[in-house]
Structure 1
Amino acid sequence: MRRGESGQTTLLIVGLAVVLLMAIAAVVDVTAAYLQRQALITVADGAALAGADAGSVNEPDLYGDGIGDAPRLEQRRAAAREAVADFLRSTGAYGEHPGLSFGVRVDPARDSVVVTLRAPLDLPLTVPGSPERASISASGAATVVLDD
């Protein structure tokens, strides 16, 4: 063996090991982000259902005087927002997703509620060059249809 080529294999093995470890870290982080987003989607869907249930029709109107006129849009928004906040508190979503924030949009034309959730992304490993403060968001929509 020539003297000038000794140690070349070691350098290649170390380089390959570094690339392999970075690839493993990236796969672990992408999987963690995907699982966190799926969990957030599930919470957003449940929150949208709770908001749509509360924001579509007032129970006294429905059971007392019939459906009649739909509640005013601002009352529907407030009822939907309060129901979403109660749902997030009661399910422990704030504990599972620290820093969770939400937005509620009521679409009166479709009698639907859209809930958007945002939470900081908690990655188990950090790949060099990855963003420091990434966040993840998800939205869910629900419509309450009343049969005649």
Structure 2
Amino acid sequence: MRRDERGSTIPLIIGFALVLALVVGFVVDATAAYLRRQALDTLADGAALRGADLGAAGTEVYAGGLGADDLHLTAITAQHAVHAYLVQVGAYRHYPGLTASVTLDAAAQRVQVHLQAPLHLPLRIPGSPAHATVGAEGEASVLVDR
């Protein structure tokens, strides 16, 4: 007796297409998040360097020198320097909703910058959040070698 092997492959093809679409959506969203984090890493490192530099001396340390005194970081000067850097490079305009927090470890002469920015995912995967937040941290120290 011969079995009837007729049937439709359409459900199988549709199922594979849905799985492929979900995988493509995941890869696109993960890539967008990775690229945003990389960009924020660069911004955080630059902001921390500027905060440590200007927060230590109040002027460009590398251009004007340090003088005879040790460096004394101040939190308010470092915060102003970080904010001015982010404005100067257009970070607030390029990443709407960007927030920056500056932490000063005066004992270690270290400025830490934490940036967060919302990320609107390019593709919407069912069950995933509509909006994500991406963060990055940067840190810099200005120490005098004697």
Alignment TM-score > 0.5, same fold: yes
2-structure distance, mates of 1:33, 1:98: 15
Deviation at 1:112, TM superposition (A): 0.5
Give the TM-score of the pair, scaled to structure 2: 0.87
Helix, strand or coil at the partner of 2:138? strand
Give the TM-score of the pair, scaled to structure 1: 0.86
For the aligned residues, what is the CA RMSD? 2.1
Q: For residues 75-86 of structure 1, what are the structure 2 equivalents within 5 Å?
A: 76-86=74-84
Q: 2:87 aligns with which of 85, 89, 99?
A: 89
Give 1 or 2: higher helix fraction: 1
8 Å contact 2:121–2:130 — kept in the other structure?
A: no
Q: Percent identity?
A: 46
Show the counterpart of 1:42.
42
Show the counterpart of 2:4.
2
8 Å contact 1:56–1:112 — kept in the other structure?
A: no
- Equivalent residues, number: 140
Which string of whole-angstrom CA distances, capped at 9 and with x for unpartnered residues, describes residues 44-80 of structure 1? 00000000012223459x43xx215x54x6xx10000
Show the counterpart of 1:18.
18
Show the counterpart of 2:30.
30
Question: Which 5+ residue runs of structure 2 have no aligned equivalent?
Answer: none
Question: Which 5+ residue runs of structure 1 have no aligned equivalent?
Answer: none
Q: 1:113 aligns with which of 111, 124, 140?
A: 111
8 Å contact 2:58–2:77 — kept in the other structure?
A: no
Show the counterpart of 1:102.
100
Amino acid at match of 1:57: A
Amino acid at match of 1:6: G
Deviation at 1:23, TM superposition (A): 0.3
Helix, strand or coil at the partner of 2:47? helix
Helix, strand or coil at the partner of 1:121? strand
